[in-house]
Amino acid sequence: MNSDMDAYCMRSDPIRDDSLERWSKIGSGGFGQIYRARHTEWGIDVAVKALLCEGSVSTLQREASLMFQGGNPNVLRIFGLYEGNLGIKENPSQFGLVMEFMERGSLADLLQNLGGPPAWPLAFRLSHQIGLGMNFLHHLSPSLLHLDLKPSNVLLDDSLNAKLTDFGLSRAARSLSKCVREQDEMEGGTLSYMPPEALKSVNYKPSKASDVYSYGVLLWSIITGQEPYRNVPSSLVRFRIPEGDRPDLKLIDCSQADGLGDIVKLMERCWEDDPSQRLTFRDCVNVTEKIFEKHKRGVIEAVNDVLKQLDNDICSSLKSIQITPKPQNVIRPPLSHCVTGPPPKQETAGDRNKDSRKTESSSHPIPANKKIPQKTPQRQTSSPGGVHIHMSNVSGVQIGNGNFMNIVQRPRQRHKTAPPSVDRTLNNSEKTS
């Protein structure tokens, strides 16, 4: 009798729609759209990568079988070939791969959500795990080259362990359709991780040293939390890398962590211009293992802190409107008591005489039991889509739980025809007259 794990072995026959349900699109990769689905027989969620390129199923099957070899904790598991309509009968038949579903997304997602590098213990573990995964692929028989190593092709499990994906697919895609991934070249994303020899000649033949170069640049991204050559046109990146340009090492302060200087030296050895001078992945993991051992005890705490931060980041989709953490010890009225309505009329000398018997509080109808923050009353006006919103005595707006959007306070400008001040003793003088 087969064990439960045998069910997850590489299948010789394609996995079809009758075994999958609860389809949802979760993103797109370099070779096609990625979907999440539930395997009805296995009782687990899987990722289905539907390839954009068309061609021979047998060719992709051979590539998938090659990628499945052995199994490694730092290499994404391939369950089999997919063939179907992505759960919609009206769709044309497509094929792709059925793989592990990784709940925490990619390394690129992690760096973006954190807004910088992870804590050193986690950063060093990720560096080591990626090196281990690549060393495994290079020691398969025959060796399997990745050819597209970058943060978006490093996926993370629930404990933020790294697993490589899209390895070998570049060769599979070319053999299937001979299509060129122009989008990556336009955006400069993959270009930033490509070795100089790949940019120098159209007759470039990839080798193990090609992956080692990409690994060196990937290490820089992990340590700095940044994308290399950010905001640089792809045409300039394509020109400058063969001329010797590399990511800026001045951004790394080696005194911040024990072993960080060794990581920097490793980067430089990996991105040597001459492929024959680059290290092997076996050399790389010897270095990263020693560094990781120095910080291993802090990994659990670092992972827990990052997971807590990710789980509490409920407003990541609203970053474009610059939401900042709620300031502490700030008293502000609840939104239910914000005053809305037309703006007050501009005060003139004539208006002053006509409304002189009105008290100052009558123009701001706030409940008597309401505590007013000790701030100069201001009125803010915005016009989203033609709808005017007026707010008085507001220092900020809360969106969601524990989030605060600051509102810039501007002093009110008196009209040029208005007197410099209002005589607030006028009411008393009228009573005594």
Domain CATH number, residue 190 = 1.10.510.10
- Based on the fold, state whether residues 306 and 328 are members of the same structural domain: no
CB atoms within 10 A of CB 124: 30
DSSP β-bridge partners for residue 156: 162
Task: Specify the pLDDT at position 315.
Answer: 46
- What rounded mean pLDDT belongs to the chain? 75
Which of 66, 82, 100 corresponds to the end of one domain?
100
Backbone torsions φ then ψ of 393, nearest 5 degrees:
55, 40
402-429 pLDDT per residue, tens: 554 544 445 555 555 555 554 444 444 4
One-letter amino acid at 229 equals Y
Task: Specify the pLDDT at position 187.
Answer: 40
Cβ–Cβ < 8 Å for 86, 136: no
* 92: in domain: yes
* 378: in domain: no
pLDDT band for position 249 (50/70/90)? Answer: very high
Task: Specify the pLDDT at position 66.
Answer: 61
| 225-250: average pLDDT | 93
Tokens 């978006």 belong to residue: 152
- Based on the fold, state whether residues 93 and 197 are members of the same structural domain: no
| 389-393: average pLDDT | 51
pLDDT band for position 1 (50/70/90)? Answer: very low
| 47-69: average pLDDT | 66
pLDDT band for position 64 (50/70/90)? Answer: low
- Based on the fold, state whether residues 36 and 138 are members of the same structural domain: no
Q: How far apart are CA 391 and CA 95, in angstroms?
A: 55
* 366: in domain: no
- Based on the fold, state whether residues 226 and 307 are members of the same structural domain: yes
Q: State the Cα angle at 304 between 311 and 300, rounded to 5°.
A: 160
> Catalytic: which of 17, 148, 166, 211?
148
What is the extent of the structural domain holding 27? 4-100
Q: How far apart are CA 15 and CA 11, in angstroms?
A: 8
- Based on the fold, state whether residues 250 and 116 are members of the same structural domain: yes
Which two tokens mark 387? 């709808």
Cβ–Cβ < 8 Å for 351, 414: no
Which of 100, 130, 159 corresponds to the end of one domain?
100
DSSP β-bridge partners for residue 324: 404
* 276: in domain: yes
The highest-confidence range among 6-20, 26-40, 284-298, 409-423, by mean pLDDT, is 284-298
Say which CATH number the domain at 31 has: 3.30.200.20
Number of domains in the chain: 3
CA 56 to chain centroid, in Å, comes to 34
Please report the sign of the dihedral spanned by the C-alpha atoms of residue 236, residue 237, residue 239, residue 240. Answer: positive
Higher pLDDT, 3 or 300: 300
77-121 pLDDT per residue, tens: 888 888 888 888 878 888 888 989 998 999 999 999 999 999 999
Which of 53, 76, 100 corresponds to the end of one domain?
100
CA 17 to chain centroid, in Å, comes to 30
Question: Lowest-confidence range among 119-133, 226-240, 379-393?
Answer: 379-393
- Based on the fold, state whether residues 238 and 127 are members of the same structural domain: yes
* 408: in domain: yes
**DSSP code, position 339:** B
Position 182 pLDDT exceeds 70: no
Backbone torsions φ then ψ of 95, nearest 5 degrees:
-135, 160
- Based on the fold, state whether residues 71 and 153 are members of the same structural domain: no
One-letter amino acid at 77 equals R
Higher pLDDT, 312 or 132: 132
Task: Report the predicted TM-score, pTM, of the whole model to 2 decimal places.
Answer: 0.67
* 190: in domain: yes
Q: How far apart are CA 78 and CA 63, in angstroms?
A: 11
Task: Specify the pLDDT at position 39.
Answer: 94
Element (H, E) at 288: helix 281-295
Tokens 């809305």 belong to residue: 340
* 217: in domain: yes
- Based on the fold, state whether residues 308 and 193 are members of the same structural domain: yes
- Based on the fold, state whether residues 89 and 172 are members of the same structural domain: no
Task: Specify the pLDDT at position 195.
Answer: 95
Task: Specify the pLDDT at position 85.
Answer: 85
Q: How far apart are CA 254 and CA 252, in angstroms?
A: 6
**DSSP code, position 274:** S
Q: How far apart are CA 39 and CA 353, in angstroms?
A: 78
Task: Specify the pLDDT at position 91.
Answer: 80
- Based on the fold, state whether residues 75 and 202 are members of the same structural domain: no
The highest-confidence range among 268-282, 345-359, 370-384, by mean pLDDT, is 268-282
Backbone torsions φ then ψ of 213, nearest 5 degrees:
-60, -50
148 assigned to active site: yes
Task: Specify the pLDDT at position 299.
Answer: 97
- Based on the fold, state whether residues 409 and 334 are members of the same structural domain: yes
Task: Specify the pLDDT at position 238.
Answer: 92
- Based on the fold, state whether residues 339 and 301 are members of the same structural domain: no
Cβ–Cβ < 8 Å for 180, 245: no
Q: Residues 6 or more apart from 191 whose CB is under 8 A from it?
A: 184, 185, 199, 234, 237, 238, 241
* 404: in domain: yes
Angle subtended by helix axes 260-270 and 281-295, to nearest 10:
170
